[in-house]
Amino acid sequence: MQTQFTEAQLQDARTATSATAIRQCVHCGFCTATCPTYVLLGNELDSPRGRIYLIKDMLENQSKPGPETVKHLDRCLTCLACMTTCPSDVNYMHLVDHARAYVESNYVRPWPERLVRRLLAAVLPRPGRFRFALRTAGIARPFAPLFRRIPGLRPFAEMLALAPKRLPRALPPPEPLAGQARGRVAVLRGCVEPVLRPEIQAAAARVIHRAGFDVVPAPGEACCGALVHHMGRVDDARAAARRNVDAWTRLLDDGGLDAIIITASGCGTTIKDYGFLLREDPDYRDKAERVAALAVDISEFLTRHGPTAVTPRGITVAYQSACSLQHGQKVTDAPRALLANAGYTVKLPAEAHLCCGSAGTYNVLQPDIADQLGRRKAGNLAALDADVVATGNIGCATHLADRMQVPVVHTIELLDWATGGPVPPRLRNTLNKPRDNHVTAREPS
Ligand code: SF4
Ligand code: SF4
């Protein structure tokens, strides 16, 4: 795509990176076929190619974006399916991240949107606040139908619908490994996952221990910054990244680390990109690259280091490949191979490349598209007639669980079970039920 950025504009490193990405696009349109919003809405401006044109126009003219441009950019799920499809290696992720930051600085959203976004940015990345908000959601729940009728307040209704009626008990961090360890790793605690599903990181710690590695805490580590980054709040994302880089660097300098393991693939995509996110910060660039080089998805780590002895459980798993894992990190085979090697029969749904609609805060901010994609994904998974759905991202797990009869668990919970751990809590009650009762997609609550 031809660009007309001026020399002065290209002095800015972010504009120069975006100009390179835009020039790489040859307008072939291959990406449109795998873009969920184009597949649903059929509008060129809701396709990757259309969004690249919008971004080019906005950045070249240094113009204030209008509501139409913002609408089409907001509808992008950042699922990155377009990057998997693109034959020209356009780095759409960096391009849309820059565009979102530009919109955040140059566009005044209507006040209800500003309020919702501020609330999400203030609450979700902080587990203490998030837990408190979920505990108090019951008080506001009766107002959900009212919020749903007022367009600007609809996201509040979606937030209330997503809040679980009962919050699981917080679990303590893992004990040090008894006996000699092969090495030591850090596991990202993060923000949302340990609040909504503490069993995931507990299962991960058990499997890592069985592989012979100690899990060490990283004081000061917190949310990876992905949630705020996707809302265009790049300074908040950089602050989160610096906090985590500091926490892991302290461990690296004092005893070393074999890996930084991530169980939520949305976080993994962001942490692996910390070097790019902090590339303009001379104090952090090298440290961020060092940390990013050690970041691995739990499935990548276990492919290298175990698990070994397994007890096949004789059930069928529908594997839902999270976009952040398959498109963002290009980790496609590892989780399926681990499940198959652990004795599970693994099935893949039709349209496995299409996003389920969760996408961080997308299901709150774009509830209609998120719901359409969620139902479509749930239908494709239910057609597999499996006993359980496994996925590698907390967002997909919660979004799909609300739309399926069959339990949705994290891949690591099944690997833990097959290597000596307990039955995943969400599977416990369904294993002995007749199959007809738990294989179909259902209406979301
Ligand atoms: S990231 Fe996903 S939704 Fe956004 S343009 Fe690419 S394929 Fe479409
Ligand atoms: S597939 Fe790549 S090169 Fe082709 S239109 Fe899409 S972004 Fe541009």
Q: How far is the CA of 307 from the centre of ligand 1 (A)?
A: 35
Segment 210-218 shows an average pLDDT of 95
Torsion, CA 362, CA 409, CA 183, CA 187, rounded to 10? 30
Q: Which atom of ligand 2 is nearest to the CA of 28?
A: 4
Closest residue (by CA) to atom 7 of ligand 1?
A: 35
Query: Which residue type is seen at 355?
Result: C
Spatial separation of the C-alpha atoms in residues 209 and 390, rounded to whole Å: 22
Residue 86: CB within 6 Å of ligand 2? yes
Domains, the chain, ranges and CATH?
7-106 (1.10.1060.10), 111-162 (no CATH), 183-302 (1.20.1050), 307-437 (3.40.50.1860)
| Per-residue pLDDT, 347 | 98
Spatial separation of the C-alpha atoms in residues 157 and 155, rounded to whole Å: 5
| Per-residue pLDDT tens over the stretch 151-210 | 788 888 888 888 888 889 888 888 888 778 999 999 999 999 999 999 999 999 999 999
For residue 94, is pLDDT > 80?
A: yes
Q: Which atom of ligand 1 is nearest to the CA of 93?
A: 1
Q: How far is the CA of 54 from the centre of ligand 2 (A)?
A: 14
| Per-residue pLDDT, 432 | 66
Residue 77: CB within 6 Å of ligand 1? yes
Residue 51: CB within 6 Å of ligand 1? yes
Residue 52: CB within 6 Å of ligand 1? no
Q: How far is the CA of 90 from the centre of ligand 2 (A)?
A: 7
| Per-residue pLDDT tens over the stretch 405-445 | 999 999 999 999 999 999 999 998 787 665 543 434 444 44
Are 1 and 71 spatial neighbours (Cβ–Cβ below 8 Å)?
no
Spatial separation of the C-alpha atoms in residues 192 and 164, rounded to whole Å: 12
Residue 84: CB within 6 Å of ligand 2? no
Q: How far is the CA of 45 from the centre of ligand 2 (A)?
A: 13
Q: Which atom of ligand 1 is nearest to the CA of 85?
A: 7
| Per-residue pLDDT tens over the stretch 9-27 | 999 999 999 999 999 999 9
Q: How far is the CA of 339 from the centre of ligand 1 (A)?
A: 28
For residue 145, is pLDDT > 90?
A: no
Residue 35: CB within 6 Å of ligand 1? yes
Structure tokens at 76: 């992008």
Q: How far is the CA of 21 from the centre of ligand 2 (A)?
A: 10
For residue 81, is pLDDT > 70?
A: yes
Nearest to 31 by CA among 99, 104, 95, 97: 95
Q: How far is the CA of 232 from the centre of ligand 1 (A)?
A: 16
Nearest to 385 by CA among 432, 430, 440, 343: 440
| Per-residue pLDDT, 406 | 95
| Per-residue pLDDT tens over the stretch 367-400 | 999 999 999 999 999 999 999 999 999 999 999 9
Residue 181: CB within 6 Å of ligand 1? no
Per cent of the chain over pLDDT 90 is: 83
| Per-residue pLDDT tens over the stretch 234-244 | 999 999 999 99
Residue 251: CB within 6 Å of ligand 1? no
Residue 39: CB within 6 Å of ligand 1? no
What are the CA-CA distances from residue 331 to residues 105, 305, 337 (Å)? 34, 16, 11
Which numbered ligand comes closest to the C-alpha of 31? 2
Residue 48: CB within 6 Å of ligand 2? yes
Q: How far is the CA of 190 from the centre of ligand 1 (A)?
A: 25
Closest residue (by CA) to atom 4 of ligand 1?
A: 76
Nearest to 203 by CA among 298, 69, 321: 298
| Per-residue pLDDT, 440 | 44
Structure tokens at 326: 């398959």
| Per-residue pLDDT, 270 | 98
Q: What angle do CA 81, 85, 86 make, to 5 degrees?
A: 115
| Per-residue pLDDT, 445 | 43
Structure tokens at 109: 């959203």
Spatial separation of the C-alpha atoms in residues 12 and 25, rounded to whole Å: 21
Segment 213-218 shows an average pLDDT of 96
| Per-residue pLDDT, 156 | 86
Q: What angle do CA 123, 126, 132 make, to 5 degrees?
A: 65
| Per-residue pLDDT, 433 | 65
Segment 83-99 shows an average pLDDT of 97
| Per-residue pLDDT tens over the stretch 337-360 | 999 999 999 999 999 999 999 999
Q: Whole-number mean pLDDT of the chain?
A: 93
Q: How far is the CA of 371 from the centre of ligand 2 (A)?
A: 27
Which numbered ligand comes closest to the C-alpha of 51? 1
Q: What is the CA radius of gyration of the chain?
A: 21
Q: How far is the CA of 224 from the centre of ligand 1 (A)?
A: 22
| Per-residue pLDDT, 166 | 87
Residue 36: CB within 6 Å of ligand 1? yes
Long-range Cβ contacts of 17-23 (<8 Å, 24+ apart)? 17/91, 17/94, 17/98, 18/55, 18/59, 18/94, 18/95, 18/98, 18/99, 19/59, 21/52, 21/90, 21/91, 21/92, 21/94, 21/95, 22/52, 22/55, 22/56, 22/90, 22/95
Task: For 56, list phi and psi in degrees, rounded to 5.
Answer: -60, -45
pTM, entire model: 0.94
Closest residue (by CA) to atom 8 of ligand 2?
A: 25
